[in-house]
Structure 1
Amino acid sequence: MTRIHADISVSLDGFVTGPDPGPENGLGTGGDALHSWAFSDDADDRRVLREGTGRSGAVVLGRRLFDVVDGPGGWDDEVGYGATEVGRPAFVVVTGSPPERVRLADLDWTFVTTGLPDAVAAARRRAEAASAAGGRDLDVVLMGGGATIGSALAAGLVEVLTLHLAPVVLGSGTPLFTGGAPRALVQRSVVPTSTATHLTYDVVRP
C-alpha cells in the first residue's frame, strides 16, 4: 500500500535550514551539518538512506527547494536524491508557476499549480503506478522544504514522519513546526548514529 511519508533532517532546535537560506545557499549558514548523516560511512546511516530512498515511488517538493536543487550549485551525478542509492523516481513540485526551463532535464518533473493536496494526489498516482510496475509497495515521499512538510502535516496529508535529528543547534533558520493544531504521533523506530538520531513515527489521523 502506498503511504504518504514526510522525511526531513532537522536541528535539535527545530530548524531545517540555517540562517539566510537562498538559491546560492540552500541550507543556510551552518545548515550543511543537518545532512552529514547522508554522506556518512556509518553502516546504520547508509542503511537508513538506502531504505528511505528505496521506498520512493514519487517525491514531492516545494518550489523554493526545487530552485535550489535545479540551480547551478544543486544536484548532479554525485549529489542528488539518494544519489547512488536509488533509481529515478518521479518528482512533483508544488508551485504557483512552472519554471521556463529545467536544468536537470533527465529527471521526471511534474509541476502542480493547484495546491499541495493536488500535488500529493498526483504523486500518489505515480507511486501506485511504479508499485504496480515493480511488484512492490512504494511510497510518496515529501522531501521538503520545511514549509511544504509543515503544511502537509497541518492539512492531515502525512501518514508517516521521519526526522533525521542532527546534533547541532542552529539558533535560527527555517523552522519545521510553526504552530497549528496538535498532532499525535506513534513512535515506530529510533536509530542512533554518530551523526544523527533517525526517528520514525506514524501520524495519527485527527
Structure 2
Amino acid sequence: MTRIVADISVSLDGYVTGPDPGPDNGLGTGGEALHTWAFSDDPDDRRVLREATARSGAVVLGRRLFDVVDGPHGWDDTTGYGAGEVGKPAFVVVTSSPPESVRLGDLDWTFVTTGLADAVAAARERAEAASSDSGRDLDVVLMGGGATVGSALDAGLVDTLSLHLAPVVLGTGTPLLTGRTPRALVQRTVIATTTATHLTYDVH
C-alpha cells in the first residue's frame, strides 16, 4: 500500500531551516547542521537514509525548495535526493506557475498548479505505477520545505511523519509545527545516533 510520508529534519527547537534561508542559502544560517546525519558514516544513519529512499516512489516538494535544489548551488550527483542510495523517483512540485527552464533536466519533474492535494494525488499515481513496475510497495515522500509539510499535516494528507531530530538549537528560522492543526500521533520507531534521533509516527 502506498503511504504519504512527510520526512524532514528538524532542530531541537522546531526549525527546519536556520535564519535567512534563500536560493543561495537554502537551509539558512547554521541550517546545514540539520542534515549532518544524512552524510554520516554511522551505520544506523545510513540504514535510515537507505530504507527511506528505497521506498520512495514519488517525491513532493514546494516551489521554494525546488528553486533551491534546482539552483546553481543545488543538487548534483553527490548531494541529490538519496544520492548513492536510490534511483531517481518522480518529483512533483507544488507551484503557482511552472519555471521557464529546469537545470536538473535528467530528473522527472511534474509541476502542479492546482494545489497541494492535487500534487499529492499526482504523486500517489506515480508511486502506485512505480510500485506496480517494481513489484513492491513504494511511498509518496513529502520532503519539504517546512510550509509544504506543515500544510499537508493540516490538511490531513499525511499517513506517516518521519522526523530527524538534529542536536542543534537554531534560535530562529522556518518553524515546522507552530500554529498547526492538532493531530494525534502514534510513535512507531525511535533510532538514536550521534548525529540525530530518528522518530517515526503514524498520523491520525
Aligned residue for 1:93?
93
Gaps of 5+ in 2: none
Cα distance in structure 2, aligned partners of 1:171 and 1:180: 19
CA displacement at 1:136 relative to structure 2? 0.1
Aligned to 2:16: 16
* Residue 200 of structure 2 is aligned to residue 203 of structure 1: no
Instruction: List gaps (5 residues or longer) in structure 1.
Output: none
Deviation at 1:180, TM superposition (A): 2.9
Tell me the CA shift for residue 76 of structure 1.
Answer: 0.4
Provide the C-alpha distance between the structure 1 equivalents of 2:74 and 2:26, rounded to a whole number of angstroms.
9
TM-score, with normalisation over the residues of structure 1? 0.99
Code of the aligned partner of 1:171: G
**Residue 108 of structure 1 corresponds to which residue in structure 2?**
108
Tell me how far 1:181 sits from its aligned partner: 2.2
Which residue number in structure 2 is paired with residue 167 of structure 1? 167
**Aligned residue number for residue 63 of structure 1:** 63
Deviation above 3 Å: which 4+ runs of structure 1? none
Match of 1:81 in 2: 81
Counterpart residue identity of residue 15, structure 1: Y
Partner of residue 31, structure 1: 31
CA distance in 2, matches of 1:182, 1:117: 19
TM-score between both structures, scaled by the size of structure 2: 0.99
Structure 2 CA distance for aligned equivalents of residues 165 and 78 of structure 1: 23
Give the aligned partner of residue 51 of structure 1. Answer: 51
User: Secondary structure at 2:153's aligned position in 1?
Assistant: helix
Identity %: 83
Contact 2:37 2:45 in 1 (8 A): yes
Distance 1:10 1:182 in 2: 19
Q: Match for residue 182 of structure 1?
A: 182
Aligned pair 1:142/2:134, yes or no?
no
